[in-house]
Structure 1
Amino acid sequence: MSTDTRSASPTRLTPSELGRLLADGRGPRLIDVRTPAEFKTSHIAGSYNVPLNLLREHRAELANHLDEEVVLICRSGGRAAMAEEALAEAGLPNLRVLEGGITAWDSAGQSLEYGEPHWDLERQVRLVAGSIVLATGIAGIFVPGLHLVGTFVGGGLVFAAITNTCGMGMMLSKLPYNRGPRTSIQDVVASLKGRS
């Protein structure tokens, strides 16, 4: 019988499977693709922060420095799946995604390193979208047709769910609040090379 710890979906890894690999000292490279500010709030010890937009832009260069198994991490799995696709296009074969992301990892009772608290992107999207819908709904009482802005936002959220992308989230990730300390490809490559 095989001792492979992979789940039924070979590109997905459950928190308990990853926890066992890390405890056994067979831990793969952990690449966290959230924003630097989200990463700073909480992350798995030993993980590297490579924000999704930076990863997409420099995927070929990163692939040259990731020759062992890699586990991609985000808040809930969506951005990590996009990172998996980008790195697979660059020819990196040993990719897995942490199923359920940091949220599932934390819920499973696995340990995290904590820093300064920060709202994650999904919460920010809910605040901005809800505020737009609420404000235009109320203002629509006095300005006919303004409520349609809320309808447009709702349509955008439906599109985001269907395509598993979020334009509002991508825009919010570029704000100074989410950028945190500037992450450059040179810093990422240097830290990857520095791992023993």
Structure 2
Amino acid sequence: MTLPVISPVEARKMVAGGARLIDIRSPDEFARARIPGSENRPVDAMGRVGDAPAVVYHCRSGMRTAANAERLAAASECPAYLLEGGLDAWRAAGLPVAEDRKAPIEIMRQVQIAAGSLVVLGIALGLMVQPAFLGLSAFVGAGLVFAGTTGWCGMAKLLAALPWNRRAAA
């Protein structure tokens, strides 16, 4: 089932009329930037949503809400809509966004930075120092394949435990 898609201006009018604005991103993404007044209800932990005349779901770009439209529709006990273009479109429309630049960047971006750095390091060391260092790149690549197929990422778990991420997890 697809949900109707509405523009940021339409969404703002609906919220002013009592609709709930629900951000389906992860808590670490929500901590860094959010639409004022939105609720954080990650899609993987979504429960029933009702007690409002309508609900408007959003993510960062609109991709996650579109991909999960059927699940979001099933969770809605009232009319539900998707914010076209998500938080990015809301910001582009000149609407207010609450940002906390002191909050750590999202865990998955940290994983991408760390994994990419380790692959480049392994290749550089393998070419300039000792070919055995190429194993580092292979190990990181295998870890990413494992994370993609199982949904469990050891690097994300490790990064989440580091001191700069503890505030966002709380």
TM-score exceeds 0.5: yes
What's the secondary structure of 2:21's corresponding residue?
A: strand
Task: Note closer, same or farther for the CA distance 1:180–1:53 as it changes in structure 2 (3 Å cut).
Answer: farther
Code of the aligned partner of 1:148: A
Matched, 1:32 2:17: no
For 2:121 and 2:12, the matched residues in 1 are separated by 45
Structure 1 spans left out of the alignment, 5+ residues: 1-8, 161-165, 183-196
- Contact 2:18/2:53 (CA < 8 Å) preserved in 1? no
- Contact 1:31/1:49 (CA < 8 Å) preserved in 2? yes
What is the TM-score with the length of structure 1 in the denominator? 0.59
1:21 to 14, 18, 21: 14
Residue 12 of structure 1, CA deviation: 1.9
State the match for 1:53 in structure 2: 44
State the match for 2:95 in structure 1: 110
State the match for 1:180 in structure 2: 168
Structure 2 spans left out of the alignment, 5+ residues: none
Task: Note closer, same or farther for the CA distance 1:148–1:71 as it changes in structure 2 (3 Å cut).
Answer: same
State the match for 2:138 in structure 1: 148
Matched, 1:88 2:73: yes
For 1:167 and 1:15, the matched residues in 2 are separated by 34
Report 1:96-175 matches (<5 A). Answer: 96-118=81-103, 119-121=105-107, 123-141=109-127, 142=130, 143=132, 146=135, 147-149=137-139, 152=142, 171=156, 175=160
For 1:21 and 1:90, the matched residues in 2 are separated by 19
Task: Note closer, same or farther for the CA distance 1:129–1:43 as it changes in structure 2 (3 Å cut).
Answer: same
What is the TM-score with the length of structure 2 in the denominator? 0.66
Percent sequence identity is 29
Give the paired residue count: 158
For 1:91 and 1:72, the matched residues in 2 are separated by 10
What's the secondary structure of 1:180's corresponding residue?
A: helix
State the match for 1:163 in structure 2: none
CA RMSD across the alignment: 3.7
- Contact 1:75/1:101 (CA < 8 Å) preserved in 2? yes
- Contact 1:13/1:98 (CA < 8 Å) preserved in 2? yes
Task: Note closer, same or farther for the CA distance 1:131–1:27 as it changes in structure 2 (3 Å cut).
Answer: farther
Residue 111 of structure 1, CA deviation: 0.6
Matched, 1:42 2:26: no
Code of the aligned partner of 1:69: A
Residue 117 of structure 1, CA deviation: 3.1
For 1:19 and 1:46, the matched residues in 2 are separated by 11
Residue 20 of structure 1, CA deviation: 3.8
- Contact 1:74/1:101 (CA < 8 Å) preserved in 2? yes
